[in-house]
Chain A
Amino acid sequence: MYWNKEIECMDRQALAVLQTEKLKKTAKKVYEKVPFYQKAFDEKGIKPEDIQSLDDLKHLPFTIKNDLRDHYPFGLFSADQEDIVRVHASSGTTGKPTVVGYTKEDIKKWAGLMARTFVFAGGNKNSVIQVAYGYGLFTGGLGAHYGAEALGAMTVPISGGNTKRQIMLMQDFGTTIIACTPSYALFMAETMEEMGIDPKSLKLEAGVFGAEPWTEAMRAEIEKRFDILAIDIYGLSEIMGPGVASDCEHKCGLHISEDFFLPEIIDPETLEPLPYGEKGELVITTIDKDGIPLIRYRTRDITALHAETCACGRTMVRMDKVLGRSDDMLIIRGVNVFPSQIEGVLVEIADVSPHYQIVVDRVGNFDRLEVQVEVEGSLFSDEVRRLENLRTHITAEIQTVLGIGVKVTLVEPKTIERSMGKAKRVIDNRK
């Protein structure tokens, strides 16, 4: 089944013509409307009218997450503020989020992209889609919600958490597609088993899982426990939100919606584009967006692209499951976490940078974040009360900045392992 067969199965040459037209328009728009891009294009000595083919993409400047932060909140918007109907935001390293804006038309297109994703998962207007991604500034909830509605499915906007209620509604409403993080899906399966409910007894047919890295082993486990099709979706708020790419039923890579997004793979060191099949950093240019189109946005996600037509008949390029990053960003319970955010909090509290270590574990399919802080110098007090206050203070500040729970442990100096004199900041036991 297709959402838009003509586009999804388009001949790649015809697609390139369509993409080139859209790229030209986008380049012209950002050059005219966004001073940041005008400057970046000028510095590269390129004008929008110089773009003749997709091959010219490599001459355009990159955009990085910091560029959005530096122009906080709306500095990279191409649309006038009066045309923006919604904003979303993701966490930032300095406490300031990165903000993206959508026009009415963008919201409609995004809904179409997410509807396309639900069709990949076997959805149609008879589906009951339970959206258990968080609603709010995070793009997951509302992104999936509008897609489910655009598809004509019965949409259950339950948002994240409240697991027993999720399970009750899945049973009572006959939910056929669940949209949530893969670790939450497994947590739901466990809760059901504890409640004496067989996850296989649900009407559930498929799950649309994303917002965090997960392995093929996790996919196999989810599929087995629920007896469903588990598809991986990819998206990021800077680019659009969920709906940028998605598995089809063959699960042989995520089809990127190339009528909206131009993907490239680059070598993160040399920044040179790499051919299909080679592993590198995924770079995306949005070519059909009005609110905040981005040119060559460096996602920092490591993957490879494959252009052979898929068994499902779609010609859209497929990306491998993302299993790495070219920076130190962690994704914990769907939230982007940079070690520098945690370091920022510690420096503020301790006045100097204490030695610390971030330990991420997956306990019972739930990601747990622990921050170990070495107690040294002025951090130490002879009084238990003060040390407990310190611990509570650090915990509260980190939770405010990250928006997720954290366990803070005070440890003795030099207990955190140093390699080559430099402390190892992150231990991710989930891999």
Chain B
Amino acid sequence: MIKQISVFVENKKGRLAKITDVLGQAGIDLVALSIADTTNFGIMRCIVSDSDKALDVLKQNGFTANTTDVIVLEVVDKPGGLASVLRILDDADISVEYLYSFVRTPNKNALILFRVENIEKAIDVLGDGGVKLLDSQEVFNI
């Protein structure tokens, strides 16, 4: 299980620059990043080197942010790789809220981040299915 930081972002010029600036000034490294946007607002989601510190500096700078537990797993980088993982979750009746992939990857495998409804159950069924899940340490050491 890994802590992801989510930040509320208004659809306004310069907001993302400001957020990444705040994190950069605090010496926080962005490991993975995704943005969900609607016509009215966006949510920036990221994995950072120090989530507690990131949350602190974001709040100090007036941003609304929270943390969410997510899972990160390795998927073989070949056709059908992601499908096999999603099949396991679907068979176990676990819905995926969203997912995104990491830019940096170890070996030849892809790294995918999942936000699921029932995280404990997902960890169990994926483990049983032979899927490799990464812990925080592994994620930051990529």
Contact = CB atoms under 8 A, between A and B. Distances in A.
B62 A413 contact: yes
B43 A412 contact: no
Interface stretch (B7-15, B83-91, B126-134): B7-15
Given A410-B40, A413-B63, A383 B8 contact: no
Contact-residue bracket for chain B: 20 to 34
A90 interface: no
B68 interface: yes
A409 B40 contact: yes
Given A375-B64, A411-B10, A412-B64, A384 B15 contact: no
Given A412-B9, A413-B62, A382 B40 contact: no
Given A380-B8, A382-B115, A413 B64 contact: yes
Nearest to B15: A412
Interface residues of A, number: 18
Contacts of A382: 4, 6, 43, 45, 66, 68, 115
A200 B78 CA distance: 72
A411 B9 CA distance: 8
Nearest to A385: B97
A415 B6 CA distance: 19
B95 to A, nearest CB: 11
A391 interface: yes
Contacts of A388: 38
B41 interface: yes
B26 interface: no
A387 interface: yes
Given A412-B8, A413-B64, 15 more contacts: A375-B8, A375-B64, A380-B64, A382-B6, A382-B115, A384-B38, A387-B8, A387-B38, A391-B40, A409-B40, A410-B40, A410-B41, A412-B62, A413-B63, A415-B10
Interface of B: 4, 6, 8-10, 15, 36, 38, 40-41, 43, 45, 62-66, 68, 97-98, 115
8 contacts: A375-B41, A376-B64, A380-B8, A380-B65, A382-B66, A382-B115, A387-B43, A412-B15
